[in-house]
Amino acid sequence: MVTATQFETEQTAARRDAFIERLFQSALGAFDIFTIHLGDRLGFYEVLSADGPLTSVELAARTGTHERYAREWMEQQAMAGILEVKETPGGNGARRFCLPSGHDEVLAQRDSLNYLAPLAQIVAGAVRPIDALLTAFRTGGGVPFAAYGADVREGQARINRAAFLYQLGKEWLPAIPEVHARLSGASPARVADVGCGAGWSSIGIALHYPNVRVDGFDLDGPSVELARTNAGQYAIGERVRFFVRDAGDNGLAGQYDLVTAFECIHDMSNPVGALRSMRRLAKDDGAVLVVDERVGEEFQPGASVVERLMYGFSVLHCLPSGMADQPSAGTGAAMRPSTLRRYALDAGFRGVEILPINNFLFRFYRLLL
Ligand SMILES: C[S@@+](CC[C@H](N)C(=O)[O-])C[C@H]1O[C@@H](n2cnc3c(N)ncnc32)[C@H](O)[C@@H]1O
């Protein structure tokens, strides 16, 4: 007969062993992320996609890297099941490695909605200021967005790029018929895109609606520079402009048919101030759209992968960067619909409507004027 104490001991041991297994898996996952980051940044995946299968000698030569490092990376990637070994004619450096189909789309095809290499870049960027983060936890201060460096900025831009270029104007905005009609009209509609980052949402809107003029605003100077460079690749000329501005700046002026904020309200120290600006910038018959993380209605541990992912980013980046300017609302990435509704009411909106647009990561809020 098993006593209650024995049963508890066995349960504890089983839980311990499962947790040990989980931590090993997590370490392997972390190595996947950081080595994918290396492969992404060094152009390994791009070259393997275009010219693979390759030996480490060929990969190193094509990417301007050191053969010994390239070989170790390729072997590690093969062990991890990310690359495949095509031929093994023997001898160091002679093995050929390739990106299997499927993996190629995820790691090397930036126009695919399934492109996820930038996820590794954001995670790598999120841990860059780890010492400042430790201090912030102790003092209640923040970690400025700039301290995360180029990887968070660029990774964020790259991960949303395909959705903003190919889904925003094709699926998301057409799901709001009167906004779609207004932007499609012959008389030039105006859009303000706050917290625009590297500008892909503004560019996506301008590309889909050829008469629309978009002004993008972001607090981060290098993001605005990046946005200008990105826009310069398209024949959209003066229709898209970018400005370094705080979304909550009372001096922001203009009258816009649509005011948007993509994945940024939860990052802002003063989200109510930003929403108040957005309300002021919208014409009386205009629309205000906030797109933010699709976390649950309530805090519920174990609820969803999205929630776990968002809390990870929140602890390391979103909350500390939002706490860098004080006083701060201290929102974090797990901004629930009830929180946004409260912010919107405080900012003077009548209410918030959740739009029936299906998306794994985002929830779409229309703020009612
Ligand atoms: C997670 S990024 C999102 C960028 C872009 N909208 C996207 O979806 O890729 C958050 C952005 O909000 C910007 N931001 C944070 N606080 C801001 C503020 N008060 N005013 C304007 N932009 C702000 C940051 O600089 C950053 O570019």
What is the CA(220)–ligand 1 centre distance, in A? 8
What is the fold, at CATH topology level, of the domain defined by 4-109? Arc Repressor Mutant, subunit A (1.10.10)
pLDDT per residue as tens digits for the range 268-320: 999 999 999 999 999 999 999 999 999 999 999 887 899 999 999 999 999 99
At residue 349, the pLDDT reads 98
Q: Please say if the pLDDT value at position 89 is more than 90.
A: no
Q: Which of 122, 219, 325 gets mutated to test ligand 1 (max ligand atoms within 8 A of its CB)?
A: 219
Q: Which atom of ligand 1 is nearest the CA belonging to 268?
A: 16
Asked if the domains 4-109 and 121-368 are classified in one and the same CATH topology, the answer is no
What is the CA(156)–ligand 1 centre distance, in A? 10
- Specify the residue with its C-alpha closest to ligand 1, atom 16: 268
Residues with CB under 6 A from ligand 1: 145, 156-157, 160, 194-197, 201, 217-220, 223, 246-248, 262-264, 267-268, 274
Question: Which residues contact residue 240 at a Cβ distance below 8 angstroms, ignoring those fewer than 6 apart?
Answer: 199, 202, 203, 206, 213, 214, 216, 231
At residue 91, the pLDDT reads 57
pLDDT per residue as tens digits for the range 119-152: 999 999 999 999 999 999 999 999 999 999 999 9
What is the fold, at CATH topology level, of the domain defined by 121-368? Rossmann fold (3.40.50)
Cα distances (angstroms) measured from residue 115 to each of 53, 81, 118, 134? 21, 18, 8, 32
Q: Please say if the pLDDT value at position 90 is more than 80.
A: no
The CA-based angle 222-225-228, given to 5 degrees, is 155
Helix axes 221-231, 149-166, angle to 10 degrees: 40
- The percent of residues in the chain predicted with pLDDT above 70, rounded, is 98
Which contacts (CB < 8 Å, 24+ apart) does range 297-303 have?
297/336, 297/337, 297/338, 298/336, 299/334, 299/336
Summarize the confidence of residues 349-369 as an average pLDDT.
97
Q: How confident is the model at residue 93 (pLDDT cuts 50, 70, 90)?
A: low
At residue 6, the pLDDT reads 86
Q: Sketch the domain layout of the chain as residue ranges.
A: 4-109, 121-368
Query: Does this model's pTM top 0.75?
Result: yes
